[in-house]
Chain A
C-alpha cells in the first residue's frame, strides 16, 4: 500500500508542507524501494552468476566446503571435457538451424495470413478466424503420443524438420499480427496499391511488411527463443544421439556425467549465452509486446 504513495504528486505535498521531515521521509521511501528492487534483481541474476562460478571451477572446488563463491579458472578445461564427451558444437548448429528456420517461416506465413485477415474480405473469413482462435485453446501435450506416431509414419523421427515444419505457421502469431495490422496499416494505402494494379502478394510485400516491422521483429525473437528452449518435443522425437538440440544434448550430458559438475555447467553456460544475447539485443521490442499482449488480451 505504501507503494501507492507516488500517485500523490510530490510537488503538491511539498508545496503544502515544505518541511524537512516530509522530504526526509520521501528520501527514505526511495531508498527502501531501491533496496527491495535490487534484492529482487540479485535473486533473479544470482543463478546466472552461480552458473558462471561453477562452469569455471573444478568439480573438487564445487564439492568443497565452505563453497567457493568466486569465479574460478578452469573454464577452458571444462569446455574441453564437454566437447570430448558430447557433440555440443553439432547440437549448437542444429539448434541455430531449427530456431532460425522456425522464426523465418513463422514470420513469413503468419504475416501473410494476418495481412489477409486484417485488410481484405473473403467468403468465410469470420468462421475461419474463429477456428484459428479456437485452435489456441488446444493444449500441446494432448497430442505428444500421436504426433510421435505421425512422425514415424512420415519417416521424420530423428530429423530436424520434425521440429520445424509442424510449427511453421501458428495461430498466436497470426492473431497478434492481425491485431497490429488492423490498427497500424491505413486502408487508404491498401486501396491505393490496389488502384495501382498491385495484387495481394505485391501489396503484402510493399505495404504490409514495412508497416508490420515492429510486430515481425517481436514475433521473430519470440519464436526464436521458444524454439531454442523447446524441450519435450525434441526429447521425444530426436532419437538419434548424433542429432540433438542443445537442450537434449545438455540433458544427455547431465544424466551421463552427473558427477563431473564443472563440465556439465560449462555445457549449460554454452547453451544459454547465445540466447541471452538475442534477448538483450531484442529486449525493447520483446518486453513491451509481451506486456501489451496481456493487457489487450
Chain B
C-alpha cells in the first residue's frame, strides 16, 4: 500500500533539479487524489449525470419504452394548471404544518424535562430516540391499524367514552392528521435530543449572571435560553422542512399509490412517484421533481434570510454603537 516517499525528501533534493521535484510532488499528491476520488466519481455518475438528465427529460414526453419526443415547456405548462399537482402541494404543506409545530413544541418540553438532572436520563433518551431509527414501513402499517376506521384502537377508545368514531383513513382531515401523527411520533424524540444537547451547551455562567442582575424566570427564559437556542431551533426547522417536503413513505404505505380517498394524502413526492412509476410518464415526473426543487429552494432562501437578517442587525447595532461613541 505504501507509496515510496524519500525518507528525507528535502535533503534528497538538489534545488537545481526541477523535474525531480515535480515528480516527487506528483508522487506525494497522487495517493491523496486517489483517496478522495471515489466520492467524486460516484457523484459524477450517480448524482450529477441524473440531475442533468432530468432537466432534459422534463422537456420530453417519454414512457421509458418508445421514442422520446421533445415537447418544450409543455410539461411545465401542464403542471401549472394540474389540479392534482396543486392538491399535492397543498397536502404537503398542511401535513408539514400540522406536524412541525406540535413536534417542535413537544420536543422542547421533553428537552427541558430531561435537562433537569433527573434519573434514568440515558434510558429515556434511548426510548425517545427509538421511533426515529425504526423502519417507517412497519410502523405505518401499525399506525394504519391503530387509526383504522372500523376496528382501530383510537376509534374503540372514542366510542368507549361515548364519542363518535372518526373516519381517520377515509376523510380528508382524518388522513392528514393520521399522517401528521406518524411524523410527530417519529421525529419528536430526535428533535428533543438535539434541543437537549443545545440546552446542555448553554453555559451556566449566563444563568448566574442573569440571576445576579435580578432577572426573573420568564426573563431568563426569553432573554437567555431562547436567544442561545435560536440557531438550534433554526436547524430543526430547516431539517423538518426538508423532511416535510419529501414526505413519501407514510402516505404510500398507509394509503397506497393513489394517496387515499380524494387524494387527500397525496404528497408531492408521492405524486411524482405516481406519475413516473405507475403511469410511466417520465417527462412529467421529472417536471414535478424540478417544481419540488424550486419550492425547496425558495424555502432555503427564506431560511437563509432569517439567519443573515439576524447578522445584519448585529452589524447595524455595532455600527450604531460605534457612531454614538464617536
Contact = CB atoms under 8 A, between A and B. Distances in A.
Interface of A: 1-8, 30, 33-34, 36-37, 40-41, 43-45, 47-48, 50-51, 54, 62-67, 109-110, 112-113, 115-117, 120, 122-123, 128, 131-132, 135, 137-150, 152, 165-171, 174, 194-202, 204-205, 225, 228-229, 231-232, 235-236, 246-247, 250-251, 254-255, 261, 264-265, 268-269, 271-272, 275-276, 279-280, 283, 286-287, 290-292, 294-295, 297
A146 B54 contact: yes
A144 B273 contact: yes
B39 A141 contact: no
A271 B138 contact: yes
Contact of B133 (A165, A255, A275): A275
A145 B36 contact: no
B242 interface: yes
B117 interface: yes
Chain B interface mostly: helix
Contacts of A171: 39, 43
Nearest to B119: A34
Nearest to A282: B133
B35 interface: yes
B110 interface: yes
Given A5-B217, A37-B118, A201-B3, A117 B248 contact: no
A113 B35 contact: yes
Interface size class of B (residues with CB under 8 A): 35 or more
Contacts, number: 303
Given A3-B112, A169-B42, A135 B142 contact: no
A124 to B, nearest CB: 9
A5 B197 CA distance: 18
Closest A-B pairs by Cβ, 4 of them: A3-B112, A291-B197, A199-B3, A143-B50
Nearest to B221: A1
B193 A291 contact: yes
Contact of B46 (A6, A37, A166, A280): A166
7 contacts: A37-B114, A47-B139, A113-B39, A139-B292, A144-B285, A271-B137, A295-B198
A230 B203 CA distance: 39
B5 A138 contact: no
Given A1-B217, A145-B286, A197 B7 contact: yes
Nearest to B125: A287
B114 to A, nearest CB: 7
Contacts of A48: 130, 134
Contact of B127 (A36, A41, A138, A197): A41
Chain A interface mostly: helix
Contact of A165 (B4, B8, B42, B130): B42
B277 interface: yes
Given A54-B145, A146-B57, A231 B136 contact: yes
B317 interface: no
B54 A268 contact: no
A51 B285 CA distance: 35
Contacts of A44: 127-128, 130-131, 185, 188-189
A141 B277 contact: no
